[in-house]
A = this chain, B = another copy of it.
Amino acid sequence: MKKKVAIVGASGYSGEELARLLLHHPHVELTAVTSRQYAGQTVARVFPKFAHHPGAKTLRFTEPDTELLAKQTEIVFLALPHGVAAEYAVPLLQLGRQVIDLSADFRVKSAAVYKEFYAHDHPAPELLGTAVYGLPEIYRAHIRNASLVASPGCYPTSILLPTIPLLRDGLIKPTGIIANSLSGVSGAGRTVKLDYLFVECNESVRPYGFPKHRHLSEIEQELSLAAGEQVTIQFTPHLIPVNRGILTTLYLAPAKHFADSTAMNELAEKISACYQNAYGNEPFVRLIEDEALPDTKNVIGTNVIEMAWRLDPRTGRLMVMSAEDNLLKGASGQAVQSLNIMCGFPETAGLL
């Protein structure tokens, strides 16, 4: 018996990927997709990229209606802007449905932090306590029983997965962390703005969102939890001319200075063990252990984040690099991973 799911707000790039994943998922039936803009049209027509899927030819977009959604589905994905997602989450939860929210609305635990970063009052602060941050490799057990999963953002995923195990194991200092991130243009969503025109992005690379990007709220919350103390990081996003992919280069300080190559080798073994312990059996984390370095082209179209690290004896620093597809492991793929956990499906179902 397939699980009935719906997507509210499936008109952006993440929503499109989510629809594609759910249509192809072996244990799921996508029973509703909503979009004010596309109401009445088939999924096949709106998203020609998977128009050949039989389900896409018959499924039609509808106006969002929470009561109807509650009747049609057991789990609802919200692919909406922040501030709007809560409007749907509240009634759907009241009607006993599970919600996986891809917006930022339920990622931070503090309404004050939300207001600081998103510049408006939190629309449903009473839910912040029950929401689970949907990073499966870190919160799998909590996701299993969650009614509301706040699926992480693309930048946070690329920063948190490499950093949390090191902080938890005390291998790096919680101070001085720098995350230099490079994102493809789909990260900006299907936003019709001069900045995202082809001619403005092609043959261009530029930093932006400086210095206090909204994603810092969830990144620092999660790093602080891992470190057991308040963590403040430096985060610089850059826009590069690719459709998809995030490459993050992390500059970290080992907790203990390594004075010679013996100490460096000991530290290297600890780091290797830390990552093996954290991710050695994870289906969607690829630990590169040879001379290769992460490359977004290796993960685009997959739910995989790949990671490599290096100790630099010249500077005493640890560098970790990660690559992921911002629309999959950074958004829709990860949300489906949470779905699989919530439903007891194999975690890789629909994601291999």
Residues in A lying within 8 Å of B, measured CB to CB: 13, 24, 45, 48-53, 178, 180, 182, 184-186, 190-194, 196-208, 210-212, 232-234, 236, 238, 240-245, 247, 249, 251, 283-284, 286, 290, 292-304, 306, 310, 312, 314-315, 317, 319, 321, 323, 352
A196-B198, A315-B233 in contact; A205/B286 too (CB < 8 A)?
no
Number of this chain's copies in the assembly equals: 4
Question: How far apart are the CA atoms of A118 and B323 in the complex, in Å?
Answer: 30
Asked if B242 contacts A24 (CB within 8 A), the reply is no
Asked if A286 contacts B197 (CB within 8 A), the reply is no
Question: How far apart are the CA atoms of A232 and B315 in the complex, in Å?
Answer: 7
Asked if A204 contacts B13 (CB within 8 A), the reply is no
Candidates B194, B247, B251; contact of A206 at CB < 8 Å: B247
Asked if A241 contacts B242 (CB within 8 A), the reply is yes
Kindly provide the distance from the CB of A12 to the nearest chain B CB, expressed in whole angstroms.
11
Kindly provide the distance from the CB of A297 to the nearest chain B CB, expressed in whole angstroms.
4
Question: How far apart are the CA atoms of A204 and B198 in the complex, in Å?
Answer: 11
Question: How far apart are the CA atoms of A292 and B244 in the complex, in Å?
Answer: 24
Measured CB to CB, the nearest residue on chain B to A175 is B315
Asked if A298 contacts B182 (CB within 8 A), the reply is no
Asked if A193 contacts B194 (CB within 8 A), the reply is no
Q: Which residues of B contact A197 (CB under 8 A)?
A: 185, 190-192, 196-198
Asked if B243 contacts A52 (CB within 8 A), the reply is no
Please list 23 pairs of residues, one from A and one from B, whose beta carbons are closer than 8 Å in the complex, sorted by A's number: A52-B286, A52-B352, A180-B249, A182-B205, A184-B199, A198-B241, A198-B243, A202-B243, A203-B243, A203-B244, A204-B242, A204-B245, A205-B245, A205-B295, A206-B295, A206-B296, A206-B297, A206-B323, A207-B247, A207-B294, A210-B310, A210-B319, A233-B315
Asked if A319 contacts B236 (CB within 8 A), the reply is yes
Asked if B238 contacts A204 (CB within 8 A), the reply is no
Q: Which residues of B contact A284 (CB under 8 A)?
A: 52
Kindly provide the distance from the CB of A290 to the nearest chain B CB, expressed in whole angstroms.
8
Asked if B182 contacts A240 (CB within 8 A), the reply is yes
Question: How far apart are the CA atoms of A204 and B352 in the complex, in Å?
Answer: 21
Question: How far apart are the CA atoms of A251 and B196 in the complex, in Å?
Answer: 27
Asked if B242 contacts A249 (CB within 8 A), the reply is no
Q: Which residues of B contact A191 (CB under 8 A)?
A: 197
A210-B293, A283-B52 in contact; A251/B249 too (CB < 8 A)?
no
Asked if A306 contacts B203 (CB within 8 A), the reply is no
Kindly provide the distance from the CB of A31 to the nearest chain B CB, expressed in whole angstroms.
19
Question: How far apart are the CA atoms of A319 and B209 in the complex, in Å?
Answer: 13
Kindly provide the distance from the CB of A284 to the nearest chain B CB, expressed in whole angstroms.
6
